[in-house]
Amino acid sequence: MKQYILCAFVFITFFGCKKDNPITAQGPTYIYPLEIGNLWNFTITDYDSLSNVISSYGHQAEIVKDTMIGNERWFQSDVGALPITNRNDGFYVTLRGAGSALIPELYLPFPATLGQLSQSAWSIKVISTDTIITANNKEYHCYGYVVKGISDEEYNNTLFVAPGIGPIQQESYVTLTSGRRFLYELSVLESYVLK
């Protein structure tokens, strides 16, 4: 018994908590889980410029296939024809370049720091790293992003994405020529299935 206690003490002493090696909680590796069969169900509500509900309907997004591009595994959803993937610095989408070449673009930096800004086909700013969003009677700890199109800045989205789960809520805004900004679409997660 003394040998067991001594071994445990030695193990904890050499490999345990040190000031220069603090214990950190291991969270999800990716912000948007990508596997064939993963699906998310949303309720989408459309509004007019006076905040009246125009329509409300269900929408489902599912990862339906994968492919190898170079040495990387990319996925396709049933709502987007172009491949998507995760890399060490975040969630990537592809755009069509000259000659139909696929160009990977960082869409959601992760992990990210508050205020982090990235620009490609979009201007993406991290506005939060732990906002609690309630959807389908559950609380989700989300990263918040504001995404603006470079060519059409009157439209922008605020996305709340839970690491390891995916999109929880999206608020889509438009700015009128008068300068007034209004919410024209709200998408909220109702359920999801991850493989």
Task: Quote the CA–CA distance of 141 and 26 in Å, as a whole number.
Answer: 14
Cα→Cα distances 122→46, 118, 148, 166, 195, Å: 23, 8, 6, 19, 30
Q: Determine contact, residues 67/82, Cβ cutoff 8 Å.
A: no
**Dihedral sign (CA 85, 89, 95, 99):** negative
Domain ranges of the chain: 34-193
Task: Please answer whether residues 172 and 146 qualify as being in contact, where contact means their C-beta atoms are separated by less than 8 angstroms.
Answer: no
Output the DSSP codes for 141-185: EEEEEEEEESS-TTEEEEEEEETTTEEEEEEEEEE-TTS-EEEEE
One CATH from 2.40.360, 1.20.144, 3.40.50, 2.60.40 for 34-193: 2.40.360
Q: Are 145 and 165 in contact (CB under 8 A)?
A: no
Q: Coil, helix or strand for 83?
A: coil
What is the chain's pLDDT, residue by residue, as a tens digit (195 residues)? 333 232 322 222 222 333 333 333 567 889 999 999 999 999 999 999 999 999 999 999 999 999 998 899 999 999 877 899 999 999 999 887 767 778 899 999 999 999 999 888 789 999 999 999 999 999 999 999 999 887 666 789 999 999 999 999 999 999 888 888 899 999 999 999 999
Residue 30 CA to residue 166 CA, distance in Å, equals 9
pLDDT for 18 equals 37
